[in-house]
């Protein structure tokens, strides 16, 4: 694989990831205020929505990457880049989708006042 092909593949993966966030926001009626590039990468600024909507929009990018990796029949390299990008975005690193999801989860847990096991059991429907 050439350097140019690798670059285009990476750019495609990132673009599809960000498009998933945008599509989810639009589907939920959330306004996109602006998009841009910073030293950290691509970013989107949007209105805030209810907690479940915010979580869905936050997870849309990594979930699309993982879905593409699981279903893409043409290029194993493209699938692997999607796996790496999707999973790394789920880790709670500063500025990542994983960090935003983790902050939303811990905020909801703290507001509940429940024991951790009870709170989790209620969230996954076994309580």
Total count of domains within the chain: 1
Nearest-angstrom CA–CA distance, 14 and 22: 13
pTM > 0.85: yes or no: no
Range of the domain at 87: 3-124
pLDDT of residue 39: 79
Per-residue pLDDT of the chain (127 residues; tens, 9 = 90+): 788 888 888 888 999 999 999 999 999 999 999 988 887 778 888 998 998 899 999 999 999 999 999 998 788 888 999 999 999 999 988 888 999 998 988 887 777 777 777 777 777 777 6
Which DSSP state fits 91? S
Residues in the chain: 127
Name the maximum alpha-carbon separation found in the chain. Answer: 54
- What is the C-alpha separation between 65 and 13, in angstroms, rounded? 7
- Location of structure tokens 């429907």: 125
């Amino acid at each position: 694989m050439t350097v140019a092909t690798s670059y285009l593949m990476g750019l495609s993966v990132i673009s599809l990831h960000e498009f998933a966030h945008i599509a989810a926001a639009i589907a939920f009626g959330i306004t996109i205020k602006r998009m841009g590039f910073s030293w950290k990468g691509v970013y989107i600024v949007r209105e805030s929505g209810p907690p479940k909507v915010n979580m869905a929009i936050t997870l849309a990018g990594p979930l699309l990457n993982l879905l593409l990796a699981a279903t893409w029949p043409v290029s194993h390299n493209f699938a692997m880049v999607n796996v790496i990008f999707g999973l790394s975005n789920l880790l709670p690193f500063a500025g990542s989708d994983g960090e935003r999801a983790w902050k939303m989860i811990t905020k909801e847990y703290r507001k509940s006042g429940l024991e951790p096991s009870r709170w989790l059991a209620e969230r996954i429907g076994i309580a």
